[in-house]
Structure 1
Amino acid sequence: MPPPPKDARPSRRRPALVAGAVVVLLAAVVTFALLATSDDEGRRQGATAKPTPPEWSQEAGRWLTSLPGLRYAGTMTLAGRPVQVRLTVTRAGLGTGRLTDGTVSADLVAIDGSTYVKGGTAFWRAYSGEAARAGSFAGRWAKVPSALSGLADVSDILGPRSIATRLGSAGRWSTVKVGTTPAYRVRTAEADYFVTTSAPYRLVRVRAAGQGRPQFAVSPLANTAAAFTELRPRVAALGGAGDPTLRFQPGKPDFVNCNDNMSGCTLSVDATLTSPRGTVPAGARAAMRATITAEGRTLGSCTGSAPVPAGRTVELRCKVTSPGWRSWLRVVRETPGPHPYEGYARVIGEAVAASDVDRLLDLVDREREQVISPSPSATPSSTP
């Protein structure tokens, strides 16, 4: 038989050599990793271990969580002007307060991770960054606009319990002076907190991030009864609160079952979410306020709202059942000839559905029970 090809025998050996090389390389990698871990174990553990919070931050945290609330007084910059801010924030972060600049003012309420503002047309035109839509939000509660982002989450940034948690996990601090008082400055992404450097360690100032850069002097609140008296009615009125972060393009209103219908006239409008783009934000809602007019006078108005679906277009409906509509229709019945009427609709974002108000009030009542409780020896007349 002819001799085998010259490269036959090496071709049978090559896989064994390659496999052997792979095994050697893998063994080398494993050995190196084990040696590196053994040599650097102490340094690695030191790098990942969380530092123990300093005693002063723990003391300040215990003081904060023992309080029923905090009082804040300070300023923030809106439209290039300093605006006075007053806030009372309970232990869990429920807040109520006011913005003031001369004769222009707006009320504030904070609950469930959001802050809401209620101001007149002058406030919305001057300070909200939403001058073109002032008519849509003036005189009603609305989520704070982007121009007030420094107050967007009062509960988290200014709530005593939340601040105590932030101080307890403080990783960076320095020593500064607040006026003439030496203080530890604890920096976080959301705010800087200033705590006195001598015992008893007390929070004395907060500087929040976000537009407006609110800065507050801090004082303890001994009695929250007045705060809850102001807070609860504001929360009760949040149903239908607007959301300036949502923008819609409404279609033309349609009349549904209106002609010669004494019980009322229904208006229907399709509205498409135009901002923000991309995925529809969780919980996004659209709200419509519709008005029917005829012969130069308003016959009635109605409101309706609905969640925004993934397709971004929502149908909104509401029914006008006013005395004005019924009286006009009676005249129409008795007067031959055409009687035109028109419908107008304004669509805005809605932050709080009417059905969600009871849940928010429950949060208020539970917090009130925890921070306002008469002592066993209190007389009925001294009970808050």
Structure 2
Amino acid sequence: MMWRTLGTLGIAFVLCAGCSGSDEPPPDGPPPPAQFSTIDAFTQSTVDLKGAGAVRYNGSLTAPAGDNVTLNVAVTKAGEASGELSVNGLPATVLVVDHTLYLKGGLDFWLKLSGVPDTTAPTVADRWVKAPGVLLGVDIERIFDTEQLPAMFGKPIGNADEPNVLKRTTVAGVEVMEVPTDTGMLFLSVNAPHGLVRFDLNRSGKTDPTKVRDLAFSVTDATSEMAAIYRDLADRTAELDGAYDPFTGVKQGTHRFENCGVKSCAIVVELTNTGKVPVRVAIKATWNAGGDEIGSCESRVGPLQPNQAGSATCTLASQEWVQFYRRAQSVAGQHPYGAEWTAMALITPPSPAALRALASSAETPVANPQGDQHVYLIRDKAGKSDKQLWKYGVATGKDWRKTADAQLKYCQSSIKTECVAEEIAATGDPAGAQALAGQLVGAYKGRTGACPPAQWVGCPR
């Protein structure tokens, strides 16, 4: 409770720092957009991208094996991701949490995905599956890591420093200038703060599964959506209990039928964990009798330690079995029955608790002076009114000032005067820090009718 009070007082002070001293809005609103250097705008757009709490990417690429992959995903600064994808037109849901990729797709998706045996596909269809990045051919977390992605943009070429000679077009309703680079084309907004709207790259990365090509993605800052994004991540993570790990070895041994009577029948399968970590194992069996399917059953066992043997019992108790058994008892002759089964390792599911905590923090942030997430502002050195404010930002760690100070050159070239950076608050997690910054942006917008002139992060357009 004490921390909440301190956090509220700190933000209240900052929000009033640019006020006019009365209850009326200040007369000096944000300055008009300044002339810009395209090189500066290019550089600042990458800084803004790195500073976003979450970014949404929508587009396509070609994987190393030649597969066409489309992605519509929201990716957080920490690397979590959720959304939808397709591989050669076949759709799936995607989740990245704790640096691990999970996919959920239909039967056709798994049948056509290289590296998945046809016998495995029916079992994993429409279930969450832990998948190595090499299986998909795309490492989503690494490719869309905002610390690494700008390095893939290359360097502007030609007359890129002369904005008046750059071609202009419209992308998703936004007027943009085309900035050619030695790896492709960037599309920056014509209007301040000239944020990145789209990138088209010829290539990306040097090793599988980041060595993709023909990347064409629209880019949208999703920092203001972080509470909803973390709730979605938590909800999907909660679905992972029971997700399959088909790439951890489970050796199947002998099997036998047990306790087959009028109400039910069980199949017992001997198993050995041939992997290097403890695993739970799921068995799924489809039963048939007289040429007809009579039901299915599922069972779990474990965890089994590496090289440990065990057994799983799967019991069928369907009405079809009851009818088959009674008929077999009343009609002379042979009445064969059988089962087809698969045994597969289950993941140890991650906990959604931390993600839910981040969702709460994004909704009700609390300042913490000891935190390593720093909220800062950049302004004209001459004053602290709204007219002198340039942008708000968030940076991590004790070297946060390097992130802020690196932008002073662009600030000075934009407003033609000396700029300074100041810390406003700190907190313990990125969602809370971005939310605190978002409150400041919202208050500024309420007073002036617009975001600070260089505000890309947390300023929906």
- Fold conserved between structures, TM > 0.5: yes
What is the CA–CA distance in structure 1 between the aligned matches of 2:48 and 2:323, rounded to whole Å?
Answer: 64
> What TM-score results when the alignment is normalised by the length of structure 2?
0.51
2:128 to 120, 127, 141: 141
CA contact (8 A) 1:112 1:155 kept: no
Contiguous gaps of at least 5 residues in structure 2: 1-40, 161-177, 365-434, 444-461
Give the secondary-structure state (helix, strand or coil) at the position aligned to 1:326: helix
Out of 366-375 and 249-258, give the one that drifted further. Answer: 366-375
CA contact (8 A) 2:104 2:125 kept: yes
Summarize the alignment of residues 115-264 of structure 1 with structure 2, pairs less than 5 Å apart: 115-132=101-118, 133-145=120-132, 146-151=134-139, 154-155=140-141, 158=144, 163=147, 176-177=155-156, 181=179, 207-208=204-205, 209-211=207-209, 213-214=211-212, 215=215, 217=217, 218-221=219-222, 222-224=224-226, 227=229, 230-260=232-262, 262=263, 264=264
Pair 1:159–1:78, CA change in 2 (3 A):
closer
CA contact (8 A) 2:278 2:306 kept: no
2:82 to 96, 99, 103: 96
Q: 1:143 is matched by which residue type in structure 2?
A: K
Q: 1:292 is matched by which residue type in structure 2?
A: W
RCO comparison, higher one (Cα < 8 Å, 6+): 2
Tell me the residue number matched to 1:289: 284
> Does 2:97 align with 1:111?
yes
CA contact (8 A) 1:147 1:212 kept: no
Deviations 1:138-195 (A, max 9, x none): 32221224332532xx4566456xx4xx79xx9x99962399548899xxxxxxxx9x
Deviations 1:81-103 (A, max 9, x none): 32222211134333112222564
Summarize the alignment of residues 357-372 of structure 1 with structure 2, pairs less than 5 Å apart: 360-372=351-363
Deviation at 1:114, TM superposition (A): 0.9
CA contact (8 A) 1:79 1:126 kept: no
CA contact (8 A) 1:85 1:97 kept: yes
Tell me the residue number matched to 1:41: none
CA contact (8 A) 1:97 1:107 kept: yes
Tell me the residue number matched to 2:297: 302
Deviation at 1:223, TM superposition (A): 1.8
What is the CA–CA distance in structure 1 between the aligned matches of 2:322 and 2:65, rounded to whole Å?
Answer: 47
Identity %: 25
Deviation at 1:105, TM superposition (A): 1.5
Deviation at 1:254, TM superposition (A): 1.4
Deviations 1:42-84 (A, max 9, x none): xxxxxxxxxxxxxx9xx99985686441112341326423222
What is the CA–CA distance in structure 1 between the aligned matches of 2:361 and 2:261, rounded to whole Å?
Answer: 56
Q: 1:139 is matched by which residue type in structure 2?
A: D
> What TM-score results when the alignment is normalised by the length of structure 1?
0.60
The total of aligned residue pairs comes to 293
Contiguous gaps of at least 5 residues in structure 1: 1-55, 186-193, 275-279, 379-384
* More helix per residue: 1
CA contact (8 A) 2:67 2:88 kept: no
Deviation at 1:106, TM superposition (A): 1.6
Pair 1:322–1:267, CA change in 2 (3 A):
same
What is the CA–CA distance in structure 1 between the aligned matches of 2:313 and 2:92, rounded to whole Å?
Answer: 31
Give the secondary-structure state (helix, strand or coil) at the position aligned to 1:349: strand
Out of 293-302 and 203-212, give the one that drifted further. Answer: 203-212
